[in-house]
Amino acid sequence: MILSVVAAMAFATVNVYAQEPEAAATEQVAEEAVEAEATEAEAPAIDEETEIPGVPFHQALKQKVIEGGVLWMTPVLLCLIIGLAVCIERILYLSFSQINTKKFIAKFEAALNEGGIEAAKEVARNTKGPVASIFYQGALRYNEGLDVVEKAVASYGSVQNGLMESGLSWISLFIAISPSLGFMGTVVGMVEAFDQIQAAGEVSATLVAGGIKVALLTTLAGLIAAVVLQLFYNYILNKIDSAVVELEDSSITLVDILTDYSKK
């Protein structure tokens, strides 16, 4: 009996020690759950209705054009689109007309020394760009004398310069009239705003907001169009200036090459 009582007491003690870690773990889990609930309760609630989804750029632009008034925004957009088309055409023309001038001059001179004027003309004829055109015109008039060659090169250089500057007057026109159209829309919008004030007999912000918005949007559109076209215009002028300097230098080189060839 004594042994049975001792064994029962020992088993009970072991069972108590085994249950204590489990109870502690349960209490810790319960405390963490209570803390999480308290944190969620303290966090500010998010109202899903207040979230504003992002608007695509083209839809926002379309909305602003409509708000600015189609009657005044359309001419400004046409100036921008047509001006950009002319700018892209000029940039492509100038880019495609560029060649490796030093390599071409060396090839022209080698053909001249080996095959004569006809071989040199053939090289110039098969090469694109204003420099090659100048060389072809000079070689074409070689038999008429160097004085005639110099005059032909100078005259044809002016022609090539005019071809490179073709279309720039349209870009200048669009740069000038885009802000003017925007300011015209501004004046019309302000007149409409004052007409509304006169009709209502009082000044109200909501009453004149529409006219003022038209005025601001048309002005903004005109200025943006003018700035964009002005950047392209200056870039094209820079490319033309570089091409003209290269053309004049090549013309001098052509006269020197033909002079040396005539002495042989």
Residue 84 neighbours by CB distance under 10 Å: 16
pLDDT tens-place string over residues 62-76: 566 666 567 778 888
The residue ranges of every structural domain in the chain are 68-254
pLDDT tens-place string over residues 179-213: 988 888 777 777 777 777 777 766 666 666 666 77
Model pTM score: 0.68
pLDDT tens-place string over residues 129-149: 889 999 998 888 888 888 888
